[in-house]
Amino acid sequence: MPTQSNFKLGRLPRSFDPRVPHMSALLAGQTPQPPPAAVDYTQKLTAPLGMMLNDTLGDCTCAAFYHAIQVWTANANPPMVTAPDATVEQLYIQGDGYKPAEGGEGPGGNEQKLLTYILNKGAPAPDGGRWRIDAFVEVDPRNTDDVKRAIADCGVAYIGFNVPAFLMPPNAPPPAVWDVQPGQDDSSVGGHAVVLAGYDANGAKVISWGQYYTMTWAFFGQFVDEVYALADADWIAATGDTPGGLTLAQLTAQMAALKAEASSA
Protein backbone atom coordinates (compact mmCIF):
# COMPACT_ATOMS: atom_id res chain seq x y z
CA MET A 1 0.00 0.00 0.00
CA PRO A 2 1.32 3.49 -0.84
CA THR A 3 2.47 5.46 2.17
CA GLN A 4 3.04 9.12 2.87
CA SER A 5 6.42 8.98 1.12
CA ASN A 6 4.64 8.36 -2.20
CA PHE A 7 2.71 11.62 -1.98
CA LYS A 8 4.91 14.70 -2.26
CA LEU A 9 3.89 18.33 -1.82
CA GLY A 10 5.88 21.36 -3.00
CA ARG A 11 3.77 24.50 -3.04
CA LEU A 12 5.74 27.40 -1.59
CA PRO A 13 4.00 30.12 0.47
CA ARG A 14 1.74 32.25 -1.66
CA SER A 15 2.83 35.63 -2.96
CA PHE A 16 0.83 38.83 -3.47
CA ASP A 17 1.68 40.31 -6.86
CA PRO A 18 -0.48 43.43 -7.29
CA ARG A 19 -0.42 42.94 -11.06
CA VAL A 20 -2.56 39.79 -10.80
CA PRO A 21 -6.18 40.84 -11.39
CA HIS A 22 -8.84 39.88 -8.85
CA MET A 23 -12.22 38.46 -9.77
CA SER A 24 -13.96 40.63 -7.16
CA ALA A 25 -12.59 43.78 -8.79
CA LEU A 26 -13.51 42.61 -12.29
CA LEU A 27 -17.09 41.91 -11.17
CA ALA A 28 -17.46 45.07 -9.08
CA GLY A 29 -20.87 46.65 -9.57
CA GLN A 30 -22.27 43.56 -11.29
CA THR A 31 -24.81 41.05 -10.03
CA PRO A 32 -23.63 37.76 -11.51
CA GLN A 33 -25.96 34.81 -11.91
CA PRO A 34 -25.67 32.12 -9.24
CA PRO A 35 -23.24 29.37 -10.26
CA PRO A 36 -24.66 26.00 -11.32
CA ALA A 37 -25.62 23.77 -8.40
CA ALA A 38 -23.07 21.17 -9.51
CA VAL A 39 -20.61 20.45 -12.32
CA ASP A 40 -18.21 17.57 -12.92
CA TYR A 41 -15.66 17.85 -15.70
CA THR A 42 -13.89 14.63 -14.71
CA GLN A 43 -16.52 12.41 -16.32
CA LYS A 44 -14.79 12.54 -19.70
CA LEU A 45 -11.32 11.88 -18.34
CA THR A 46 -9.77 8.47 -18.90
CA ALA A 47 -7.37 6.57 -16.66
CA PRO A 48 -4.56 6.71 -15.87
CA LEU A 49 -4.20 10.38 -14.96
CA GLY A 50 -0.60 9.91 -13.86
CA MET A 51 1.34 11.05 -10.81
CA MET A 52 3.14 13.66 -12.94
CA LEU A 53 6.30 12.96 -10.89
CA ASN A 54 4.65 14.21 -7.70
CA ASP A 55 5.49 10.90 -6.02
CA THR A 56 9.21 11.75 -6.14
CA LEU A 57 9.44 15.52 -6.76
CA GLY A 58 7.91 18.55 -5.07
CA ASP A 59 6.48 19.61 -8.44
CA CYS A 60 2.80 19.85 -7.49
CA THR A 61 2.47 23.31 -9.06
CA CYS A 62 3.48 21.77 -12.41
CA ALA A 63 1.54 18.54 -11.94
CA ALA A 64 -1.62 20.51 -11.21
CA PHE A 65 -1.27 22.47 -14.45
CA TYR A 66 -0.88 19.32 -16.53
CA HIS A 67 -3.96 17.86 -14.84
CA ALA A 68 -5.76 21.05 -15.93
CA ILE A 69 -4.68 20.31 -19.50
CA GLN A 70 -6.23 16.86 -19.17
CA VAL A 71 -9.55 18.43 -18.17
CA TRP A 72 -9.49 21.03 -20.94
CA THR A 73 -8.58 18.63 -23.72
CA ALA A 74 -10.91 15.82 -22.64
CA ASN A 75 -13.89 18.17 -22.49
CA ALA A 76 -13.20 20.83 -25.10
CA ASN A 77 -10.76 19.37 -27.61
CA PRO A 78 -10.56 15.57 -27.26
CA PRO A 79 -8.77 13.26 -27.02
CA MET A 80 -7.39 13.91 -23.55
CA VAL A 81 -3.74 14.97 -23.57
CA THR A 82 -1.54 13.50 -20.83
CA ALA A 83 1.97 14.88 -20.69
CA PRO A 84 4.77 12.35 -20.17
CA ASP A 85 6.91 12.68 -17.08
CA ALA A 86 9.81 14.13 -19.08
CA THR A 87 7.59 17.02 -20.22
CA VAL A 88 6.39 17.69 -16.67
CA GLU A 89 10.00 17.71 -15.49
CA GLN A 90 10.88 20.32 -18.11
CA LEU A 91 8.27 22.71 -16.72
CA TYR A 92 9.62 22.10 -13.22
CA ILE A 93 13.10 22.96 -14.51
CA GLN A 94 12.08 25.98 -16.57
CA GLY A 95 9.31 27.44 -14.43
CA ASP A 96 10.36 26.53 -10.89
CA GLY A 97 14.14 26.26 -11.16
CA TYR A 98 14.53 22.55 -10.48
CA LYS A 99 18.08 21.25 -11.03
CA PRO A 100 18.01 17.48 -11.64
CA ALA A 101 21.76 17.15 -11.06
CA GLU A 102 21.28 18.25 -7.46
CA GLY A 103 18.82 15.44 -6.75
CA GLY A 104 16.13 15.52 -4.11
CA GLU A 105 12.59 16.81 -4.47
CA GLY A 106 13.66 20.16 -5.86
CA PRO A 107 12.75 23.69 -4.77
CA GLY A 108 8.98 23.46 -5.00
CA GLY A 109 7.09 26.26 -6.70
CA ASN A 110 5.19 29.48 -6.20
CA GLU A 111 1.80 29.42 -7.93
CA GLN A 112 1.69 33.03 -9.10
CA LYS A 113 5.22 32.89 -10.43
CA LEU A 114 4.61 29.64 -12.30
CA LEU A 115 1.33 30.87 -13.80
CA THR A 116 3.07 34.07 -14.91
CA TYR A 117 5.75 31.94 -16.58
CA ILE A 118 3.09 29.85 -18.36
CA LEU A 119 1.25 33.01 -19.42
CA ASN A 120 4.40 34.46 -20.99
CA LYS A 121 6.56 31.53 -22.00
CA GLY A 122 4.17 28.60 -22.06
CA ALA A 123 4.48 25.14 -20.55
CA PRO A 124 6.28 22.47 -22.58
CA ALA A 125 3.79 20.39 -24.57
CA PRO A 126 4.20 16.72 -25.54
CA ASP A 127 4.34 17.66 -29.25
CA GLY A 128 7.30 19.95 -28.66
CA GLY A 129 5.26 23.15 -28.68
CA ARG A 130 4.27 25.39 -25.78
CA TRP A 131 0.94 25.44 -23.92
CA ARG A 132 0.04 28.96 -22.86
CA ILE A 133 -2.85 30.30 -20.86
CA ASP A 134 -4.47 33.53 -22.01
CA ALA A 135 -5.04 34.85 -18.52
CA PHE A 136 -5.28 33.96 -14.86
CA VAL A 137 -7.42 35.75 -12.32
CA GLU A 138 -7.22 35.47 -8.55
CA VAL A 139 -10.41 34.41 -6.77
CA ASP A 140 -11.12 35.13 -3.11
CA PRO A 141 -11.25 31.73 -1.34
CA ARG A 142 -13.81 33.20 1.07
CA ASN A 143 -16.28 33.69 -1.80
CA THR A 144 -17.41 30.14 -2.46
CA ASP A 145 -19.76 31.20 -5.26
CA ASP A 146 -16.87 32.81 -7.15
CA VAL A 147 -14.81 29.63 -6.65
CA LYS A 148 -17.68 27.62 -8.11
CA ARG A 149 -17.96 30.06 -11.01
CA ALA A 150 -14.24 29.65 -11.71
CA ILE A 151 -14.67 25.88 -11.96
CA ALA A 152 -17.86 26.08 -14.01
CA ASP A 153 -16.54 28.73 -16.41
CA CYS A 154 -12.93 27.55 -16.76
CA GLY A 155 -13.09 23.77 -16.31
CA VAL A 156 -10.83 23.94 -13.27
CA ALA A 157 -9.84 26.15 -10.38
CA TYR A 158 -6.10 26.05 -9.71
CA ILE A 159 -5.68 26.27 -5.94
CA GLY A 160 -3.11 26.17 -3.16
CA PHE A 161 -3.62 25.07 0.41
CA ASN A 162 -1.77 24.34 3.61
CA VAL A 163 -1.80 20.59 4.22
CA PRO A 164 -2.80 19.60 7.77
CA ALA A 165 -0.83 16.78 9.37
CA PHE A 166 -3.92 14.61 9.75
CA LEU A 167 -4.30 14.46 5.94
CA MET A 168 -0.89 12.77 5.54
CA PRO A 169 -0.83 9.73 7.84
CA PRO A 170 2.69 8.23 7.96
CA ASN A 171 1.75 4.66 7.05
CA ALA A 172 -1.20 5.16 4.73
CA PRO A 173 -2.25 7.20 1.70
CA PRO A 174 -4.35 10.35 2.08
CA PRO A 175 -8.05 9.64 2.63
CA ALA A 176 -10.52 9.82 -0.24
CA VAL A 177 -12.46 12.61 1.46
CA TRP A 178 -10.64 15.64 2.86
CA ASP A 179 -12.68 17.07 5.70
CA VAL A 180 -11.99 18.99 8.89
CA GLN A 181 -11.01 16.78 11.82
CA PRO A 182 -11.67 18.51 15.16
CA GLY A 183 -9.18 17.38 17.78
CA GLN A 184 -6.70 16.05 15.20
CA ASP A 185 -3.32 17.58 14.39
CA ASP A 186 -4.08 20.34 11.88
CA SER A 187 -0.64 21.93 11.92
CA SER A 188 0.73 22.46 8.41
CA VAL A 189 3.17 19.92 6.99
CA GLY A 190 3.63 21.93 3.79
CA GLY A 191 1.78 23.50 0.88
CA HIS A 192 0.14 21.70 -2.01
CA ALA A 193 -1.19 22.77 -5.42
CA VAL A 194 -4.12 20.95 -7.02
CA VAL A 195 -6.94 21.57 -9.46
CA LEU A 196 -10.63 21.38 -8.67
CA ALA A 197 -12.54 19.98 -11.65
CA GLY A 198 -16.05 19.78 -10.26
CA TYR A 199 -18.20 20.48 -7.24
CA ASP A 200 -21.57 20.00 -5.60
CA ALA A 201 -23.16 21.10 -2.35
CA ASN A 202 -20.88 18.85 -0.32
CA GLY A 203 -17.52 19.91 -1.70
CA ALA A 204 -15.15 20.09 -4.65
CA LYS A 205 -13.66 17.31 -6.76
CA VAL A 206 -9.86 17.35 -6.53
CA ILE A 207 -7.32 15.91 -8.96
CA SER A 208 -4.00 15.22 -7.27
CA TRP A 209 -1.39 12.46 -7.30
CA GLY A 210 -3.15 10.95 -10.32
CA GLN A 211 -6.35 10.35 -8.36
CA TYR A 212 -9.67 11.92 -7.45
CA TYR A 213 -10.44 13.18 -3.98
CA THR A 214 -13.31 15.13 -2.44
CA MET A 215 -12.51 18.32 -0.54
CA THR A 216 -15.42 19.38 1.63
CA TRP A 217 -16.30 23.06 1.68
CA ALA A 218 -15.49 23.11 5.41
CA PHE A 219 -11.95 21.85 4.65
CA PHE A 220 -11.67 24.31 1.77
CA GLY A 221 -12.65 27.20 4.01
CA GLN A 222 -10.10 26.29 6.68
CA PHE A 223 -7.01 25.41 4.64
CA VAL A 224 -7.15 26.94 1.13
CA ASP A 225 -5.46 30.33 0.80
CA GLU A 226 -5.17 30.89 -2.98
CA VAL A 227 -7.44 30.21 -5.95
CA TYR A 228 -7.03 31.08 -9.63
CA ALA A 229 -9.36 30.98 -12.60
CA LEU A 230 -7.37 30.06 -15.71
CA ALA A 231 -8.34 31.07 -19.24
CA ASP A 232 -7.46 28.42 -21.84
CA ALA A 233 -7.98 29.29 -25.51
CA ASP A 234 -9.30 25.87 -26.57
CA TRP A 235 -11.74 25.80 -23.66
CA ILE A 236 -13.00 29.28 -24.50
CA ALA A 237 -13.36 28.41 -28.20
CA ALA A 238 -15.35 25.27 -27.42
CA THR A 239 -17.54 26.55 -24.58
CA GLY A 240 -17.63 30.32 -24.94
CA ASP A 241 -17.04 30.56 -21.18
CA THR A 242 -14.38 32.80 -19.64
CA PRO A 243 -13.45 33.90 -16.11
CA GLY A 244 -16.09 36.34 -14.91
CA GLY A 245 -17.69 36.35 -18.35
CA LEU A 246 -15.09 38.81 -19.64
CA THR A 247 -14.24 38.78 -23.32
CA LEU A 248 -10.87 37.42 -24.35
CA ALA A 249 -9.82 40.96 -25.28
CA GLN A 250 -10.75 42.20 -21.80
CA LEU A 251 -8.79 39.37 -20.19
CA THR A 252 -5.79 40.08 -22.38
CA ALA A 253 -5.90 43.71 -21.31
CA GLN A 254 -5.90 42.63 -17.67
CA MET A 255 -2.70 40.70 -18.30
CA ALA A 256 -0.79 43.65 -19.77
CA ALA A 257 1.30 44.34 -16.67
CA LEU A 258 2.33 40.71 -16.27
CA LYS A 259 3.16 40.38 -19.96
CA ALA A 260 5.30 43.50 -19.77
CA GLU A 261 7.55 41.54 -17.40
CA ALA A 262 8.36 39.10 -20.20
CA SER A 263 8.98 41.77 -22.82
CA SER A 264 11.41 43.60 -20.55
CA ALA A 265 13.28 40.47 -19.47
Instruction: Round to whole Å and give the CA distance between 157 and 155.
Output: 7
Q: What are 100-148's pLDDT values in tens digits? A: 999 999 999 999 999 999 999 999 999 999 999 999 999 999 999 999 9
Convert the pLDDT of each residue in 68-80 to its tens digit: 999 999 999 999 9
DSSP 103-119: -SS---B-HHHHHHHHH
Distance CA 187, CA 206 (A): 21
Distances (CA, A) of 210 to 13, 75, 162: 23, 18, 19
The pLDDT tens digits of the residues spanning 192-245 come to 999 999 999 999 999 999 999 999 999 999 999 999 999 999 999 999 998 888
Q: In the chain, what are the domains?
A: 47-264 (3.90.70.10)
